[in-house]
Amino acid sequence: MSIDTAVDIATPTSDTHLTIPVAIVGFGWMGRVHAQAYARVRHHYPTLRPLPKLSVIADELGDRAQAAAEQFDVASVVTDWRDVIADNTIRAVSVTAPNFLHREIGVAVANAGKHLWIEKPVGLSAADARAVADAASDAGVVTAVGFNYRNVPAVEAAREMIAAGEIGEITHARFRLFSDYAAHPDGALTWRYSRDRGGNGVLGDLASHGADLVWYLLGDIDSLIADTATFITERSKPTGATAGHQLAVGGERGPVENEDYVSAQLRLASGARCVLEASRVSVGEQNSYGFEIHGTKGIVRWDYRRMGELEVGTGGAYQDQSVATRYVGPGAGDYAAFQPGAANPMGYDDLKVIEAARFCASIAGPERLGANILDAVRSAEVLDAMSESVRSGTWVSPVRV
């Protein structure tokens, strides 16, 4: 990618050639990860301009925002995100608030002419993601979306192998996103479990990443049939502020309104067949994300928990073909920005540094790098199709919104 040669054409006011003032709205888990990523961009991409400068933190919890501002040396704290929109010094905004706020805040950010880095799934439905995409397109602002798993250098290497035909024509594939973050029956009934605020549960949380990876690696999905389930149907309401996934014991109980589990069979436009399965209640599965992709001449497998490795089987054996571990290194995606040689493990936060760098480089232009709002629309169309398939019990094609 051309990050190193990017030049600043996006910030016409003072201090412009070096930095772009950014704000973060919502300082829970993801807000913190975005803040760390903005801070580290200069460490890993020293020649990139503009560099982000975190200048405002917004969270409805004033204490949380204030503590974060002290930790990250940020001058301004607000509790109403509209103050970020009204702040003319802010040129780019991270939206890391709960899903139900994505549409309203995302549209407002774009309408104000500010660049937008927004977390997946971007709202509660494809219509929400499309509303943000249209606002961004009308305003001509740059967008980035948190499909961080496609930033993994090994995933990018797998994509190149597949595109180069190293494993032949793709026949079938499995994508899994299993987690235990909601497996504890005492997990607090946060915004995630409400349809109005969290949307379609594990579909938006995890299957959204899966739908993006299927497209990124294998292309368009032609049709699908899906099944969903909610296994833990009630949880205790939290009595105080929450961030991420916390326990709440003994409080008033309320209903879980969205999906714990989804499985889907996909027919790809290429003719390949695919299985995508996601669960937030898999005991014993911690961030067990990955894929296995089969072709007429080989196989490539990847597991997020061994992020820098691919298992690859290629050659002409067909039967009894051996499979070997390939450690990715410089040359695979943005690996070289982090480590000088293969098999030095990268971590989750590094993926967000890559995302932040691509966002800044896209602002500099002219290339658009990384996942953007149109990728969020495409992923959400697949999730909507899954819900429609469950409702109708039939094969469904994703509807373009």
Ligand X SMILES: NC(=O)c1ccc[n+]([C@@H]2O[C@H](COP(=O)([O-])OP(=O)(O)OC[C@H]3O[C@@H](n4cnc5c(N)ncnc54)[C@H](O)[C@@H]3O)[C@@H](O)[C@H]2O)c1
* Contacting positions for ligand X (CB under 6 A): 25-31, 58-61, 64, 81, 96-99, 101, 119-120, 146, 148, 205, 242-244
Which two tokens mark 217?
A: 């690696």
Q: Of the two residues 52 and 298, which places its CB atom closer to ligand X in the complex? A: 52
Give CA–CA dist 189/166, Å, rounded.
46
Q: Are 386 and 259 in contact, with CB atoms under 8 Å apart?
A: no
Q: How far is the CB of 83 from ligand X (least distance, A)?
A: 10
Q: Of the two residues 197 and 273, which places its CB atom closer to ligand X in the complex? A: 197
Q: How far is the CB of 68 from ligand X (least distance, A)?
A: 9
Q: How far is the CB of 94 from ligand X (least distance, A)?
A: 10
Which two tokens mark 20?
A: 């772009």
Q: Are 217 and 310 in contact, with CB atoms under 8 Å apart?
A: no
Q: How far is the CB of 193 from ligand X (least distance, A)?
A: 12
Q: How far is the CB of 302 from ligand X (least distance, A)?
A: 16
Closest to 20 (Cα-Cα) out of 52, 60, 66: 52
Q: How far is the CB of 4 from ligand X (least distance, A)?
A: 25
- Residue 312: beta bridge partners? 300, 324
Which two tokens mark 138?
A: 């009308």
Q: How far is the CB of 201 from ligand X (least distance, A)?
A: 11
Q: Are 179 and 185 in contact, with CB atoms under 8 Å apart?
A: no
Q: How far is the CB of 393 from ligand X (least distance, A)?
A: 28
Q: Of the two residues 27 and 45, which places its CB atom closer to ligand X in the complex? A: 27
- How far, in Å, are 22, 53, 206, 217 from residue 75 at the CA level? 12, 11, 34, 42
- If one counts every other C-beta atom within 10 angstroms of the C-beta of residue 317, the result is 11
* CB-nearest residue to ligand X: 28
Closest to 15 (Cα-Cα) out of 43, 53, 72: 53
* Number of helical (H) and strand (E) elements in the chain, helices listed first: 11, 16
Q: How far is the CB of 315 from ligand X (least distance, A)?
A: 35
Q: Of the two residues 30 and 90, which places its CB atom closer to ligand X in the complex? A: 30
Work out the end-to-end distance of the chain between its first and last CA atoms, rounded to an integer number of angstroms: 30
Q: Of the two residues 136 and 206, which places its CB atom closer to ligand X in the complex? A: 206
Q: Of the two residues 61 and 401, which places its CB atom closer to ligand X in the complex? A: 61
Q: Of the two residues 243 and 336, which places its CB atom closer to ligand X in the complex? A: 243
Residues in CB range of 37: below 8 A, 6 or more apart:
349, 352, 353, 355, 356
Residues in CB range of 134: below 8 A, 6 or more apart:
none
CA gyration radius for the chain? 21
Q: Of the two residues 33 and 299, which places its CB atom closer to ligand X in the complex? A: 33
- If one counts every other C-beta atom within 10 angstroms of the C-beta of residue 267, the result is 16
Q: Of the two residues 60 and 222, which places its CB atom closer to ligand X in the complex? A: 60
Number of residues that this document lists for the chain: 401
